[in-house]
A and B are shown apart, each in its own frame.
With several copies, the nearest count.
Chain A
């Protein structure tokens, strides 16, 4: 499949919409484990991104530049834990598609692997720590494996997102070890991690867009 800077921008727009819809739910999850602001933080960040999409980025045709601007804008607007995490993700992804106005299946797979690995490197969390890494690590492992077997992005990404979902859901039963909720110990069991959830939402938003584009193309 071919994916242009415009497609990236549509994807980021779709996140903006998704975040507004899921804002309350993400806050609610964070209220149980942390300080209750995850939805607010995501909204502040993606609204700032939206502003850029509607102005500076309107004419931008370089996929990497779009992704870098999104990451930087998000980080500037929110700080917080997820600022550096998602910003690092989008900036590492950008590196992979540097200078490209259109990317292919291989680029996309590499983009998402770099995204997830970048976040892991930034946050230094392990699977089982009850963070977004529980979503992202199974995701990138599955993506690497599936794409190596059959180099079709949509197929591989679909598989990876279903691993991401399992990972997200696994955080319900985990005692949290990283981040604000780590001190909760046993009391954290039963609550799904907000960051693991928003990470899954981002991935599944991309999956929807990717499916759409493939459907239109074929």
Chain B
């Protein structure tokens, strides 16, 4: 393991410090808790607050998505560990504009508990209404019948996009939650891992894999996947990922989708576009229309190698949300 870091104990603190210093016109730390970051810009009264968060090591997720059109604040956890309720609660207080706050996070035991506890405190102690929506887009992580058990991976990006836009359009708390859930219901992802990441504090690879192997369906913390197999060509990998997605959600000829080919950290853009090329071929053979494409590192796992493919099926409402402009330090859309 080779990293540009100082004391491994301080990586999250130092990253956050660097981040806030790099983008002072976008984001600031709350004095109450240095893991609680909120937009530096004034948000409008009566707008539903969007709060995101999760473990560190997924950058641009999650702190990179605080800004106009996406989230108003983020609670930052340790590496691959949910934030505790403290920063979540502080962010909640800071971004509530009287219309309540929606928490968006991935479906992981830790996040569910910590965000759940924070939501209870916000209600009881602060009298702030909280709505919640969990991303559970990873097809590999549980059978179709148990979608609610699935974990959230790169598809979280679309949930943020949709909910962030809905809040900007003035939707109320329940409506923002509805849109977030609809985005989640319409979103499916499948990932493939080629090489592990290394936790700064242990220096150990997150999983073992041979030079000629790939791991299908692994999680974006390096949790083992559903199947280890020989490394295949980009086209065969894309075939497999898209096939598993399309077996899980009905997308018909003429339907519109947005596509995300997400790098896990150390996969060159070149490889991602080669994968995208095949994804596009498959979809266009089926008459499925790509409304917009995102290719790059959107939610990573430190320096893990590999990628995921995410499709979100669009309706008119989600199309409007996808088109809404965004201005965040790590993601800008005109």
Query: What is the interface of chain A, defined by CB distance below 8 A to chain B?
Result: 24, 27-28, 31-37, 39-41, 43-44, 75-85, 122-123, 178-185, 187
Contact = CB atoms under 8 A, between A and B. Distances in A.
Q: Please classify the interface of chain B as helix (H, G, I), strand (E, B), loop, or mixed, using the class held by over half of its residues.
A: loop
B82 A35 contact: no
Nearest to B114: A79
B188 to A, nearest CB: 15
Contacts of B109: 81, 123, 178-180
Nearest to A32: B224
Contacts of B81: 37, 41, 78-81, 83
Contact of B86 (A32, A76, A179): A76
A123 B223 CA distance: 20
B201 A183 contact: no
A178 B149 CA distance: 9
B92 interface: no
B219 A180 contact: yes
Contact of A80 (B82, B138, B149, B206): B82
A93 B316 CA distance: 52
Given A37-B79, A123-B113, A83 B151 contact: no
Given A180-B109, A182-B141, 6 more contacts: A27-B199, A34-B223, A39-B202, A81-B113, A183-B225, A187-B226
A32 B196 CA distance: 13
Contacts of B110: 79-84
A76 B83 CA distance: 8
B43 interface: no
Nearest to B228: A187
Nearest to B225: A183
B80 interface: yes
Interface in B78-96: 78-86
Contact of A183 (B80, B207, B226): B226
Nearest to B141: A183
A79 B80 contact: no
B78 A35 contact: no
B8 to A, nearest CB: 9
Contacts of A36: 80, 199, 202, 204, 206, 221-222
Nearest to B76: A79
Contacts of A123: 109, 113
Contacts of B283: none
A36 to B, nearest CB: 5
Nearest to B207: A31
A74 to B, nearest CB: 9
Contacts of A82: 110
B111 to A, nearest CB: 9
A36 B149 CA distance: 21
B128 interface: no
A49 B77 CA distance: 18
Given A24-B202, A187-B224, A75 B78 contact: no
B77 A79 contact: yes
Interface in B128-148: 138, 140-142
B117 interface: yes
A34 B225 CA distance: 10
Given A81-B113, A187-B224, A182 B83 contact: no
Interface in B113-131: 113-114, 117
Contacts of B149: 182
B113 A85 contact: yes
B108 interface: yes
Contact of B82 (A43, A83, A181): A83
B217 interface: yes
A36 B140 CA distance: 20
A35 B80 contact: yes
Given A79-B78, A79-B81, A35 B202 contact: no
